[in-house]
Amino acid sequence: MKKVKIALLGLGNVGCGVWKILNSNKEEIQKRSGYEIEVAKILVRETKKDRGVIVPEEILTTDFNEILNDKDIKIVIEVMGGIEPAREYMLKAMDKKKHIVTANKMLLATGGDEIFEKADSMGVMFHYEASVAGGIPIINGINESLTANKVEQLYGIVNGTTNYILSKMETEGLSFKAALDEATEKGYAEADPISDIEGFDAQYKLAILSSLAFGTKIDVENVYREGITNIKSIDMDYAKEFKMVIKLLAIVKDVNGKLELRVHPTMIPKNHPLANVYDSFNAIFIKGNAVGDLMFYGRGAGDLPTGSAVVSDLISILRSNIDLENINPVVKNNLWDKKIRDIRSVESKYYIRTTVEDKPGVLGEITTILGDCGISLRSVIQRGVESPQHDKVTLVLVTHYTKEAKVIEAIDEIYELKTVKKIDNIIRIEDFKN
């Protein structure tokens, strides 16, 4: 059996998952890859930390040069996260002809070009299956199995933490904070969970998926983003009443050759397959012009699911002949230039929850503004008196399909009404018919 030395950068949630899989599935991995794998070094910040796994102390290091300068280390697995020093270390490792596996969506989405170009120019392999949707083989799915298609639309639940939070709030009535604490405890959340709950993580992942699915470079700034911090249990109750659920969706649509890219909380019909994706599960629903509707489903976060994608990338590299020069130029994602649609051009249905004064004429004022802006209402719900002073009520408006620009214009005017105390929330409704 051939032998190969590899190194890990990071031994946190994902690194420990990788370590566990390499040990527990040793025989399968050897047979499938044709190699006996030795983890020669693991880079960490703190060598004495209890990580819940038994790792020989002598392979832990805080000095990246021990990995860089070891000629026998052929493959580097980057699972430390963040931009620097992960970027610098990967570039330096590729300069030394080391192949790379990474789970770092933030780095790929914000500075991926430089990394892909380096891999290409050095003729090393660069794999990143774990960067999107944890254990789901979506990168390979798009890059290998869907290349005969023109992708028309892609809808993803691509962040495990937010899906866990929304699931726990909806099904168990947990508070946002308690659910986030659980997601962190289970190893789903990023080191800074703002990235999850404010939608940045999903924004990075949508940029990566879209660039692969549409063969074009995507600037992450062109992906419209909202997080889930404004979602309250009352919104979930209304969604339930409409036979819907609220999910943080990452959406890309090709609308007449222009790409519409957005991440935001979305009400979707309960009977759609994505509505039944709960807990830390992720799913990606794709419409291809040949294959039709397709859904990938699985665990989107956590040590073992993510470790599964990382180790599979490692095996892919080993199955190619790692000692050959220029073996695997990376898949090109700059085949076409695509224009981006501004969020104001998006057409959707909208749920608008407001708090208004409980007096005659208020509804009329609001519906007049909506009518003047060309927005047609599907339903209006006013729920009884909600304050002890009998002075304010919740008014929920649901629109028919309308342009976002019209909604923005109407909301600006509604804000000005003295009788409107607050626009509490606006959530887009996706019925998958547009």
Q: Is 303 in the site for ligand HSE (CB under 6 A)?
A: no
The dihedral region occupied by 123, where left means phi > 0, alpha psi between -120 and 50, and beta the remainder, is left
- At closest approach, how far in Å is the CB of 210 from ligand HSE? 16
Q: Is 11 annotated as a binding residue?
A: yes
Is 16 annotated as ligand-binding? Answer: yes
Which residues are CB-neighbours of 14 under 8 A, at least 6 positions away? Answer: 79, 103, 130, 303, 306, 307, 310
205 an active-site residue?
A: yes
- Contact with ligand HSE (CB under 6 A) among 35, 188, 200, 238: 188
CA distance 328 to 123: 6
Q: Cβ distance 103 to 131 under 8 Å?
A: yes
Tell whether 13 is in a known binding site: yes
Instruction: Tell me if 324 is assigned to a ligand binding site.
Output: no
Cis bond before residue 85 (omega within 30° of 0): yes
77 neighbors 8 (Cβ within 8 angstroms): yes
- Of 4, 6, 13, 183, the one binding ligand NAP (CB under 6 A) is 13
Q: Over 287-345, what HEC string results?
A: EECCCEEEEEEEECCCHHHHHHHHHHHHHHHHHCCCCCCCCCCCCCCCCCCCEECCHHH
- Least distance (Å) between residue 193 CB and ligand HSE: 8
193 binds ligand NAP (CB under 6 A): no
Per DSSP, 57 falls in state: G
Q: With contact defined as beta carbons under 8 Å apart, do 129 and 140 qualify?
A: yes
Round the CA-based radius of gyration of the chain to a whole number and report it. 24
Q: Can you name the residues that pair with 298 across neighbouring β-strands? A: 282
Place of tokens 């790379």: 100
Closer CB to ligand NAP, 83 or 335, in the complex: 83
Select the residue interacting with ligand HSE from 115, 189, 208, 223 (CB under 6 A). 189
Q: Report whether 123 belongs to an annotated binding site.
A: no
Q: Which of 254, 402, 66, 158 is nearest to 411 (CA)?
A: 402
The site partner of 196 among ligand NAP, ligand HSE, none (C-beta below 5 to 8 Å per kind) is ligand HSE
Q: Of these, 110, 153, 159, 333, which contacts ligand HSE (CB under 6 A)? A: 159
Q: Which is nearer to ligand NAP, 288 or 302 (CB)?
A: 302
Position among 4, 37, 43, 245 found at the interface with ligand NAP (CB under 6 A): 43
- Indicate which of ligand NAP, ligand HSE, none lies near residue 172 (CB less than 5 to 8 Å, by partner kind): none
Is 146 assigned a ligand-binding role in the annotation? no
- Angle of helix 13-24 relative to helix 303-319, nearest 10 degrees, comes to 60
Catalytic residue among 74, 205, 253, 338: 205
Task: Specify the stretch interacting with ligand NAP by CB under 6 A; choose among 101-109, 261-269, 326-334, 352-360.
Answer: 101-109
* 250 near ligand NAP, rule: CB under 6 A: no
Q: Is 194 in the site for ligand NAP (CB under 6 A)?
A: no
Residue positions in the annotated binding site for L-homoserine? 190
Residue positions in the annotated binding site for NADPH? 105
- Tell me which residues touch ligand NAP (CB under 6 A): 10-15, 43-46, 49, 79-81, 85, 103-105, 130, 134, 187-188, 190-191, 301-302, 306
Catalytic residue numbers read: 205
- Tell me which residues touch ligand HSE (CB under 6 A): 134, 159-161, 188-190, 196, 201, 300-301
